[in-house]
Amino acid sequence: MSMNLGRHAAAIFVMAFFVSAPAAAGTEEEFGDLLEVGRTKDALVLAENWVRVENSQKAKFALGTAQFLYAIERLGNGFHAFGLGNAFSTGMWMDLADLPFLRVPVPANPDPQPVTYSGLRDLLERFGDDLSLADMTLAGIGPEEFDFALDFGAVSLDLDGDGQVGPNEHLVTLFSAVSQMRAPADGLLFDLDQSDAPWLRGYTHLLRAMTEFLLAHDWHQTFDETFHFLFPDSELKSSDIRRSATDALIFLEQHEPPTSYWEATRSYRWGDPNKPSRETWERTPQGREWAKWDEEYGTEYRRAENFLEYGGIADIVAFIHRFDWPIVDESRMENSRIHLLTMIDLSRENWRRVLQESDDKYEWLPSPRQTPRFPRMRVSQEVVEGWHRFLETAEDVLEGRKLIAHWRFLDKGVNVRLMFEDPGTFDPVMIAQGAAVIPYLEKGEMVSAQTAETMFDIFERGFFAYFVWFN
């Protein structure tokens, strides 16, 4: 009996090995296939099972990556539910949707739910919680070497939750919109490795720093009075402005000037002494047609044009004017500072691992000895050293060891750490004017303008793109 049990146990062990081993070996390709068709949640489940099977560096990296992408997808789902994507069809020449931090490529929603201030805050809080899960998983990845092939160009996020991949639901679309970096000519297939784990962790902390900052403040009035074009299908206090814009757009579409007018402006060139005058043209049949249109619709047409040309700019000005956000949770401001400091530490660990690499594959973040794949983005020793000097300066500022110079105060600087630890109403205009920084002024070593100028020179005026890439 005991011999039979032993044989059964051995058979079960052998079967378990051969059943589980192929699943783990083929998981990397299957994981990429799921991400390619926007099945992020399925990729997350697959990675969870993968970790249970072997708990390897590669499996944990897959899980952390899936958790990160799922956090972004769920944020996009929330924005889509509120109709954020509809802001791209307002007809405005410029509006808040053109600001970089609101330029989210979420598909339009034909039947959105009403957006609320509390709903947006809940969405941001959930986003931070989702990112923390990815961070905890990635924190378990050590410096031991592994390779993980992933085609960024094929990764898709189901931002509208319809189970399909739309033209704006590719990860590279979102990344390019933010970073303005061109994709490599040979595609976006990368061999990710142990160096990229702290890099991705750094991004979770950067995004959580931004989320905590927003949740620390009360921006309800800004929402009520300036978000009418961001969520045009919801009823806000300022929605009459959006309705007026819609009426203006409809009027322009229904009362376009006669085509002869545009032809005449090209042919006659008003003001050219060698061409017939406008008065002469207005006595022609085409001119009389235009004069009739102008008498009936011209004044209102030009008013509607001005509305769509300058209305969005007025909203941006109003957004800045209402950017005086009272503090509602001081602890979140300190959390934001800690996230930024953690991001700095992780960037240093990222580069420590990168500089120890001896291979030269399809590197996401190459060392000066490896081959860069982004056009016009060089990674020389000077760039790496410049980045480390930026990290050191940023840490000094966040820890209060160095002060930020302010143009209104020649002998004192702003202690940024105190602004996080003892925050007041956040008002960029009053910060720039100087009154809002008076409580945080100190004498001490300041970050010089020359330091910033040197950074811009090292990164060839493309510092923002490098920041998005390096984080």
SS (H, E, C) the chain: CHHHHHHHHHHHHHHHHHHHHHHHHCHHHHHHHHHHCCCHHHHHHHHHHHHHHHCCHHHHHHHHHHHHHHHHHHHHHHHHHCCHHHHHHCCCCCCHHHCHHHCCCCCCCCCCCCCCHHHHHHHHHHHHHHHHHHHHHHCCCCCCCCEEEEEHHHCECCCCCCCCCCCCCEHHHHHHHHHCCCCCCCCCEEEEECCHHHHHHHHHHHHHHHHHHHHHECCHHHHHHHCCCCCCCCCCCCHHHHHHHHHHHHHHHHCCCCHHHHHHHHHHCCCCCCCCCHHHHHCCHHHHHHHHHHHHHHHHHHHHHHHHHHHHHHHHHHHHHCCCECECCHHHHHHHHHHHHHHHHHHHHHHHHHHHCCCCCCCCCCCCCCCCCCCCCCCCHHHHHHHHHHHHHHHHHHCCCCEEEECCEEEEEECHHHHHHCCCCECHHHHHHCHHHHHHEECCCEECHHHHHHHHHHCCCCHHHHHHHHC
Query: What separation in angstroms does the CA of 9 have from each of 2, 16, 19, 20, 219?
Result: 10, 10, 15, 16, 63
Distance of CA 435 to the CA centre of its chain: 31
- Describe the strand order of the beta sheet including 403-406 as a list of residue ranges: 441-442, 409-414, 403-406, 446-447
Q: What is the mean pLDDT of each run of 10 residues along the chain (471 residues)?
A: 41 36 62 94 96 94 97 93 69 61 76 96 97 98 94 91 86 68 68 96 96 96 91 91 86 82 56 68 76 86 84 86 94 98 98 94 92 82 92 96 94 96 94 96 89 76 75 80
Measured at the alpha carbon of residue 28, what is the angle toward residues 379 and 378, in degrees to the nearest 5?
A: 5
Q: Are 89 and 83 in contact (CB under 8 A)?
A: no
Cα–Cα distance for residue pair 247/241, rounded to 1 Å: 10
State in Å, rounded, how far the first CA of the chain is from the last one.
63
Cα–Cα distance for residue pair 284/276, rounded to 1 Å: 11
Q: Are 121 and 215 in contact (CB under 8 A)?
A: yes
What pLDDT sits at residue 466?
76
What pLDDT sits at residue 337?
98
Beta-bridge partner residues of 447 = 404
Other Cβ atoms closer than 10 A to 297: 17
Q: Are 195 and 365 in contact (CB under 8 A)?
A: yes
Cα–Cα distance for residue pair 381/281, rounded to 1 Å: 66
What pLDDT sits at residue 463?
76
Cα–Cα distance for residue pair 215/221, rounded to 1 Å: 14
Cα–Cα distance for residue pair 470/181, rounded to 1 Å: 12
Other Cβ atoms closer than 10 A to 407: 8
What pLDDT sits at residue 461?
59
